[in-house]
Structure 1
Amino acid sequence: MHKGPIWAIIVSIIAIVSIYFLTDIKENQDIQTINKVIDSDDNETISLFLDSIDEEERNTALSLFQEARDSQDSAAVEALIAFYEEKQQYNFAAYYHSLKAEITPLASNWEVAGDRQISVSSNAAYDVSFNEMLYEEALISYQKAIDLDSSNLELQVKLGSAIVDRSPQPMQGITLLLGVIEQDSMHINGNLALGKFGIISGQYDKAVIRLEKVLSLQPENAEALFLSGEAYSNLGMNGKAISCFSKCKEIVENEDLKKEIDAYLQQLL
């Protein structure tokens, strides 16, 4: 079987079909929650960036931050986020989504904060230490969203998946994901996340069971089809693998991804 960079391919599929892998998880007592947001003046990475731009823009950013922090001004924090996005500093913008959620503490705001933070924190173009901090902030954001909406299984999936993907203790996330399935055995994103973990950990038979549930509800789920093809091929079930890869190729639009799938198919034919 062609052993291409499966994680890169999975990420490509996610980007193409806009699939979010969400899974339900029980409250995680090991994830520390905090009630502070880094001050621009105290964070070296942000300070270095502000020192690199002209004085007027630097003063604008600092003024917006101080107004948002001191006056709990939601308009100011929105403007601050927009400022950093305009500068293509999406890591700083993602971080200040936590300040937005602190000012307006809705589950939806904490969820958006977690989404932005987990996405940007894997971007190698940004400072490594800041990315690591941003990943931890994402876990906190998801947990705070869950605290406000504990019945939302999709929030729990996001937290569980984030832990599985990048935490040094992935089984903690697996336990959370399994908790989702206990509540809803046909939960699409919960089964999808566990199916992906089955592929990565070499538990292909278990992965197939999870992914079959997803495809029974969403027959054209591109990621589930791709993962199923990978699982079946490693189980020696080439006919089913070819069928899954072929259908996945019909659905996705990215030409580079189609070429990668072709490489898989050539190995199976």
Structure 2
Amino acid sequence: MIHRKQIAVISLVVVLMGLLLSMNIKGLVKPKEQRNVNGTVAGGPSAAASVSVESVSALAKPELTANFAKQVADLEEALSQAPGEKKIGLEKQLAQKWEDVNQPGPAAFYHEMVAVRENTYNAWLKTGDAFSNAQQNTQDTLIQPALGEKAINAYQKALELQPGSRDAKMGLGAAYVNGSANPMAGIQLLLAVVKEDPDNLKANKTLGLFSMRSGQFDKAVNRFKTVIRVKEDSESWFYLATSYENLGMKKDAIDAYEKSKVLAADPGLSKFVDKKVEELKK
């Protein structure tokens, strides 16, 4: 299960990089489209209102084995019949079940149900992390805005309960950058986190990705160098390689791509990197 997730992540990296390099990197929002701070179209309905635990579960259930699908169905039935004080235990079980099969979308909604009942900092922080993870692991562009909006809401509630939380600030900053049309609000939060904790992995990686999207590849290089120094991974080496390539630093790009390939040990990425290295050597 873990290996399958790693392959999916690497495949997503390739897709994401293709999107980043093909988009107009100087503009993150279409000029004629006005949006509010939560990333929804101004004057329009909330994106989150159109997505529910039922809808994301329906999309995820075809991936389950028959045995696991029955376990989930039994828990769902029990939850629908349970009195209020008994629901939270079943909601926690369902969140865990969906996490066990690497389906963060349904898991996030059940974490949210728990957070509404408990209304604690830890519950809302976990919910924010769950929705952020779900947003990053879906390629459904209709669902992504809703998941991002819910992540923002959860982190805001966590900060209301614990205003000084670095983890909540970092999560909210990343959610604004990745899931709203107000990325600069997120950048300010992330810069504040990095000022307090210069080696913060998530903050540096998110700032690095934003630098790439905005065409500031020199800044991206510095961010990903920090990430790799603290804890290297194939994804960060891949982003570093792409940043070097866009700066015209071919040798550094080749070295970084090769390092990404070794750490990933994934045939799909290896084929992509080999082709990229061949192009850079010309």
- TM-score in terms of structure 1 length: 0.67
Summarize deviations over 1:118-149 as a string: whole Å, max 9, x none.
33346356x936x5433322211122233444
Instruction: Determine if contact 1:229/1:245 at 8 Å carries over to the other structure.
Output: yes
One-letter amino acid of the counterpart of residue 183, structure 1: E
Which residues in structure 2 correspond to 1:189-204 (within 5 Å)?
189-204=202-217
1:78 aligned partner: 92
- Report the equivalent of 2:275: 263
Task: Tell me how far apart the structure 2 counterparts of residues 10 and 115 of structure 1 sit (CA, whole Å).
Answer: 23
Q: Could you list the per-position Cα deviations for residues 226-268 of structure 1 after superposition, in whole angstroms to 9, with x for gaps in the alignment?
A: 1111111111111111111111111112211121222221121
Shift of 1:152: 4.1
Q: Could you tell me which runs of 5 or more consecutive residues in structure 1 were left unpaired when the two chains were aligned.
A: 1-5, 14-29, 32-37, 50-56
Give the direction of change, closer, same or farther, for the CA distance of 1:59–1:192 in structure 2 (3 Å limit).
Answer: closer
Q: Which string of whole-angstrom CA distances, capped at 9 and with x for unpartnered residues, describes residues 63-111 of structure 1? A: 624746x336421323554788899986444213111122233433323
2: distance between equivalents of 1:222 and 1:59?
39
Residue among 239, 246, 251 paired with 1:227: 239
Asked if structure 2 preserves the Cα contact closer than 8 Å seen for 1:159 and 1:173, the reply is yes
1:112 counterpart = 2:126: yes
Larger relative contact order, structure 1 or 2 (CA cutoff 8 Å, min sep 6): 1
Give me the whole-angstrom Cα distance separating, in 2, the residues matched to 1:152 and 1:67: 35
CA distance in 2, matches of 1:254, 1:260: 10
* Matched residue, 1:20: none
Separation (CA, whole Å) in 1 of partners of 2:241 and 2:139: 29
Q: For 1:175, give the aligned amino acid.
A: Q
Q: 2:191 aligns with which of 144, 157, 178?
A: 178
Asked whether the equivalents of residues 64 and 79 of structure 1 are also in contact (C-alpha less than 8 Å), the reply is no
Which residue is equivalent to 2:260?
248
> Can you give the 5+ residue segments of structure 2 that lack an aligned partner in the other structure?
1-9, 18-36, 39-47, 59-71
Q: For the residues of structure 2 that align with 1:82 and 1:231, how far apart are their CA atoms?
A: 37
Q: Hey, what's the Cα distance between the residues in 1 that align with 2:195 and 2:142? A: 37
**Closer, same or farther: CA 167–12 of 1 in aligned 2, 3 Å:** closer
Taking the TM superposition and a 5 Å limit, the aligned residue runs for 1:137-216 are 137-216=150-229
1:264 to 1:154, Cα distance in 2 relative to 1, 3 A:
farther
- Counterpart secondary structure, 1:202: coil
In 1, the alpha carbon distance for the partners of 2:219 and 2:100 equals 45
Q: Is the 8 A contact 2:125 2:158 kept in 1?
A: yes
What is the alpha-carbon distance in structure 2 between the residues aligned to residue 210 and residue 246 of structure 1?
A: 19
Q: How many residues align?
A: 226
Deviations 1:2-43 (A, max 9, x none): xxxx99326789xxxxxxxxxxxxxxxx66xxxxxx9xxxx7
Shift of 1:170: 1.5
Are the structure 2 counterparts of residues 183 and 230 from structure 1 closer, same or farther at C-alpha, using a change threshold of 3 Å? same
Cα separation, 2, equivalents of 1:160 and 1:86: 27
Q: What is the percentage of aligned positions where both structures have the same residue?
A: 29
